[in-house]
Structure 1
Amino acid sequence: MKALELFAGAGGLALGTEKAGFKHVAVAEWDADACSTLRLNRPNWNIIEGDVRHLTYSDFGTDLDLVAGGPPCQPFSLGGRHKAWNDERDMFPEAIRAVRETRPKAFLFENVRGLTRQSFSTYIEYIVLQLTYPSLNRKKRESWQEHLSRLEQHHTGTGGNRPEYKIIPPRILNAADYGIPQKRERIFFVGFRADVNAQWSFPEATHSQLALQVAKWVTGEYWSSRNIVPTQATPSDKKVATLSQASFESILSPWTTLRDAINDLPDPVLKTDIANHIYQPGAKPYPGHTGSVLDEPSKTLKAGAHGVPGGENMIAFPDGTYRYLTVRESARVQTFPDDYLFTGPWSEAMRQIGNAVPMELATQVAKQIYDVLNRTEFEKRLVKRCV
């Protein structure tokens, strides 16, 4: 199945869709360093470096199965300037144009949780309506509010009976709930062309915080299986009793911790021949940035848009010391394969990783899409043979 990938960054989402079964007709990204990383790791991909606003998407075909991407999130990020639709970096209009020009069977877009803030709620509705009726394009000199009004009137009129795309209500997924060793929440937009009998749903969570707490404080299995003493304070008897009762209801796996992700890597203070695993000095906590404890999933990795990646890109060790995550450790947290290499200095590589979608989370969502499209295609072929 053919996919077009936009705003690829270092490739987290693109690797996920590839692992799910899609073949990329093109992978577009404007950042030169990210493109260097993509070319190094996937020399056979058709990587297009440059501003997607200059592309004619239909050049990549009008028979695509999937258009995917993470439109730049700075306009909506909690760590950004929050300019949203007034920010020239808002690339959702380009994501929608790609759907309009290629008419794929499905699309998959993701963004930061900040997009779900109340102040942006109207804009989220605007995005969803545009993706539902991509051919109802914004006119010249028409404000986005005027365009929204026109879309709403179309949707509540006869157009509502003929949606161009059927869109699942956008969903926030926490990567930790899907086995990724990081508490990272992203919002996903998934839709299918109206003629596709998708019957799709988001993948169900496989892991939980409750199961991790039970493994630590009820069964003790978390500590015993790793042959370590508890590194965190034991909860109160009342809390333990509550967890013990809840353990009978928990059928999910425990959250994967930072220790689980990086424990087999040697101390980077010692020189190793492991690629991208180099010690970076200078880590220290400061208010609001206290690092990630070993025996919990990592906090959300930051891109470090203002220089050195945020103080959350540290390990807070049980003995009270701190160390920056290496590039390789950060890649583990984002579930990139160990043979995937990042170009540029530490700060640049960390920026690429901090901006990425966890590859395995992308895989799970994209695999659900791939399986549905594969099933519908099989059903079509079956009907043709029976006629």
Structure 2
Amino acid sequence: MTSLRTVEICAGAGGQALGLHKAGFRHDLAVEIDPTAAETLRQNLGGEVAVGDVADIGVWRPADYEGVDLLAGGVPCPPFSIAGKQLGSSDERDLFAWAVEQVAVMRPRALMLENVRGLAAARFSGYRQRVLDRLAQLGYVADWRLLHAADFGVAQLRPRFVLVALRPEDAVYFRWPEVAGERVTVGEELRDLMSANGWAHVDDWVALADGIGPTLVGGSKKHGGADLGPTRAKRAWEALGVDGKGIADSAPDKNAPHPTERLPRLTLAMVARLQGWRDYDGWDFAGRKTSQYRQIGNAFPPPVAEAVGRAIRVALEHAGMPHEVPELSADIHDPVYRALAGAGDFVSIDRLTGALNEFSHASVERRLAILAQDFVVEQRVTPSGTMYRLGEFKGFTGQADHERHGYIQQFKSRIS
């Protein structure tokens, strides 16, 4: 199988990289800001690994990789996470729009970006619309899809919002991967690891752990340690027979209490298994316990990356039957954004109301208020009513004077 070339940004510990390798891609470059995660990549991935802020041209130059087959990445999640403030473009960590802008520089045949399901929320409809419209301007057909890791053989839900964009001649061969078989429970997945020291009650534990795990939470250098996440997540793990307050150094010993008396904790090997790494992958994580857990918990599950990677590979090789694709930028996520962006000038509230097929000015004004979190929305009061014009996008797309640069310099040691 001929390898296709990929560049991966915000590569983390290599969950996406491993899946893409299994799908037939090989990395020309992986870029990661965390030195320990970068060391994990070096130990396992092969190829070049650049360490530092992905938007710093001193770390790497996107133009040097023009024509690569795939630009991939898992850009920071906090700007869109429902567990955070959902600041979107106002969050200095946001790199999604910047990553899309690199398509203009690198002209890859395909783009694949993944993030948390929060990006699928109504709060970010204008943000998503801008992404689709920008990719359409660049000549790509783009689509979003919410994928659950549990549908691809991973014993946790872990919903991820994935963007794939391809050139029209390749997009006609792309189909999102289908669900891969029956779901696997936590107990079934971890039986062998939990019984590694001969625990007498492992069968009872497997029966108790008869369900899909909640999403693993890796945390960050600023928040979160080697435990399974916030209180709600810990309660969900407790219902599956797991003590989520920490990570164990080893599996329960032979005489460990029954799980109804004391719940066992997961080991790093168990967490990696739940995230989709397999023993035969031989993937070794660098760093100490907390760092290893953070790397694993924040990763994109390899089986999901492999499934999407294979679908992209089929499209790039023009395998299978072509199908109809929508016209470029036909997918409408935010009609108010589209109406404002298409006008290029001030638009009346009545016209925007018509774009929504609604009769309430208040409904349009609510949408405008949401839009104003990511874009400058100008107003002009006229005798016939208020008019609106879409101004600049507030997010980082590579501007030399953007406030993000100062944030990165000040808090670089805390970013992961």
TM-score, shorter chain, exceeding 0.5? yes
Alpha-carbon contact 2:173-2:318 (below 8 Å) kept: no
1:49 maps to which of 43, 48, 51: 51
Separation of aligned partners in 1, 2:158 and 2:22: 21
User: 1:166 is matched with which residue?
Assistant: 141
CA shift for structure 1 position 192: 0.6
The question of 1:303 aligning with 2:218 is answered yes
2:192 corresponds, among 250, 260, 264, to 264
For the pair 1:331 / 2:331, whether they are aligned, the reply is: no
Decide whether the 8 Å contact of 1:40 with 1:341 is kept in 2. yes
**Equivalent of 1:98, from 90, 95, 102?**
102
Which of 163, 188, 202 matches 1:189? 163
Q: 1:118 aligns with which of 105, 122, 132?
A: 122
Residues 6 and 70, structure 1, Cα contact 8 Å, conserved in 2:
yes
Equivalent positions of 1:333-348 (< 5 A) are 333-338=274-279, 339-348=282-291
Equivalent of 1:4, from 2, 7, 18?
7
Is the aligned partner of 1:178 residue 2:178?
no
2:401 alignment counterpart: none
Whether 1:371 and 2:309 are equivalent positions in the alignment is no
1:232: which partner in 2?
none
Could you report, residue by residue, the CA deviation over 1:83-117 in whole angstroms, capped at 9, with x for unpaired residues?
A: 11101100112211221111111111110001112
Q: 1:123–1:266: structure 2 CA closer, same or farther, 3 Å change rule?
A: same
What SS is found at the alignment partner of 1:14?
helix
Q: Is the 8 A contact 2:170 2:315 kept in 1?
A: no
Whole-Å separation in 1 of the counterparts to 2:278 and 2:44? 11
Q: Rate the CA distance shift 1:205–1:197 in 2: closer, same or farther, 3 A.
A: closer
Moved more, 104-113 or 337-346: 337-346
Unaligned 5+ residue runs, structure 2? 200-206, 242-258, 323-416
Give the letter for the 1:262 counterpart: L
Q: Which of 286, 290, 295 is residue 352 of structure 1 equivalent to?
A: 295
How far apart, in 1, do the equivalents of 2:261 and 2:319 lie? Answer: 55
Whether the aligned pair in 1 keeps the contact of 2:174 and 2:314 (CA below 8 Å) is no
**Aligned equivalents of 2:212 and 2:56: distance in 1?**
40
Q: Distance in 1 between matches of 2:276 and 2:99?
A: 25
Alignment counterpart, residue 93 of structure 2, candidates 74, 89, 96:
89
Contact 2:75–2:95 (8 Å) recurs in 1: yes
Matched residue count: 280
The separation in 2 between residues aligned to 1:320 and 1:194, in whole angstroms, is 59
**Partner in structure 1 of residue 77 of structure 2:** 73
- 8 A contact 1:29–1:47 mirrored in 2: yes
Letter matched to residue 191 of structure 2: N
Pairwise CA distance, 1:299? 1.0
Q: CA deviation at 1:322?
A: 2.8
Q: CA deviation at 1:130?
A: 2.1
- Percent same amino acid at aligned positions? 36
Counterpart CA distance in 2 for 1:123 and 1:323 is: 43
Instruction: Provide the residue aligned with 1:142 in structure 2.
Output: none
2:133 alignment partner, one of 129, 132, 150? 129
Which position in structure 1 is the counterpart of 2:260? Answer: 319
Matched-pair contact (CA < 8 Å) for 2:6–2:25? yes
**For the Cα contact (< 8 Å) 1:10–1:37, is it kept in 2?**
yes
Structure 1: 5+ residue stretches without partners: 135-163, 208-252, 272-291, 380-387
Per-residue CA deviations over 1:259-311 (Å, capped at 9, x if unaligned) read 1221111457889xxxxxxxxxxxxxxxxxxxx96111211000123232315
CA contact (8 A) 1:34 1:352 kept: yes
Where 2:55 maps in the other structure, the secondary structure is helix
Deviation at 1:64, TM superposition (A): 1.1
Q: TM-score, normalised by structure 2?
A: 0.63
SS in 2 for 1:300: coil
Structure 2 residue matching 1:307: 3-state secondary structure: coil
Cα contact 1:192–1:198 (8 A) shared by 2:
no
Q: Name the residue aligned to 1:59.
A: 64
The offset of 1:38, in angstroms, is 1.0
Question: How far has the Cα of 1:352 moved from its partner?
Answer: 0.9
Contact 1:258 1:293 in 2 (8 A): no
Where does 1:170-319 land on structure 2 (aligned, <5 Å)? 170-196=144-170, 198-207=172-181, 253=182, 255-267=183-195, 294-305=209-220, 306-308=223-225, 309=227, 310=229, 312=233, 314=237, 316-317=240-241, 319=260
Structure 2: which amino acid aligns with 1:303?
G
What code does the residue aligned with 2:29 have?
Answer: A
Q: Cα RMSD between the aligned structures?
A: 2.4
Q: Which amino acid is the alignment partner of residue 48 of structure 1?
A: A
Task: Give the Cα–Cα distance (whole angstroms) in 2 for the partners of residues 293 and 121 of structure 1.
Answer: 40
Cα deviation 1:309-362 (Å, max 9, x = unaligned) = 315365642626333321110100111132211122222111111111110111
Q: Label 1:9 to 1:293 Cα distance change in 2 as closer, same or farther (>3 A).
A: farther
Q: For the residues of structure 1 that align with 2:261 and 2:128, how far apart are their CA atoms?
A: 42
Q: Distance in 2 between matches of 1:194 and 1:372?
A: 10
